[in-house]
Amino acid sequence: MQTISDLTQLRQQIKTWKQQGDKIAFVPTMGNLHQGHISLVEEAKKHADRVVASIFVNPMQFGAGEDLDKYPRTLQADSEQLIAVGTDLLFTPSAQTMYPKGLEVQTYIEVPNVSDNYCGSSRPGHFRGVATIVNKLFNLVQPDVACFGEKDFQQLQVIRTMVADLAMPIEIIGVPTAREHNGLAKSSRNGYLSAEQKAQAGVIYQSLQQAAEKLKQQVSLDDVKTDIAVQISKQGLTIDYVEIAERNSMQDAVAGDKQLVILVAAFLGQTRLIDNWQVDLS
């Protein structure tokens, strides 16, 4: 596996592969990799001749008071995992490389509507940061295919919308959420949790499963959301939001919508956990 941090070197390697007719798949990450990230690489390998991963802890998507400085940097361990799964190239730029003029005067990308609610309102500016860095990475890597986890479902829809709106020739593939044995969605932030807290957080997955069944039984949207919030709160987590959205528009679901996604964000101590479950009522 090549590891490159320089933009010129990256572009030269991409150009060489393109001239050879290689199809390129891309997996952007912020590092501190777990099995969920590795599953993205494994999926990417099914769709392309070359797989590029990136590790960049993007300051633009962290809000005030969030854990940018504390976010784990585990490059050596991450590299070993990527080598083991057959990644061709790892791109590891610095913040100075990606934002040479600083964040204050950086051109940015915003994706309206789909970014507005849920994590968008809970973390102002977050999706601007996501869309901007993904757009820039797409320009550098020029992938044919890019893989993103469904755990961050709103983020996935933001990227899909951006790619469609800007006519990017990139296929976006959503990859199912990797989970712990109790259903807890695997996340880099799970490293902040004790074993006891991880067991406690399993209630999120359990509540989503029960909620999906209730929706299929035509229990009202409001009642389903209330039930989820009660279950999670009883286990000592603090609710950030519990919502049900129409899956494609990412707007609040209304009676009669068929393609739904249940979205949960909750705090366990200082750690913010998110999860979702898609429901098809058609």
Beta strands in 159-228 (DSSP E): 171-175
Q: How many Cα atoms occupy the beta-carbon half-sphere of 277 within 13 Å?
A: 22
Strand partners, 278: 261
Q: Quick one: which of 120, 275, 90, 128 has its CA closest to 190?
A: 275
Residues 90, 105: Cα–Cα separation, whole Å:
28
Residues 93, 149: Cα–Cα separation, whole Å:
22
Burial of 16 (0-12, 13-18, 19+ CB in 10 A): exposed
The active-site residue, picked from 34, 37, 126, 181, is 37
Asked if residue 207 lies in contact with residue 264, where contact means CB atoms within 8 angstroms, the answer is: yes
Asked if residue 153 lies in contact with residue 248, where contact means CB atoms within 8 angstroms, the answer is: no
181 is known as an active-site residue: no
Strand order in the sheet with 271-280: 238-246, 259-268, 271-280
Q: Quick one: which of 98, 126, 99, 102 has its CA closest to 114?
A: 126
Residues 98, 268: Cα–Cα separation, whole Å:
33
Positive or negative torsion for Cα 213, 216, 218, 222: positive
Q: Quick one: which of 58, 50, 23, 55 has its CA closest to 37?
A: 55
Residues with active-site annotation: 37
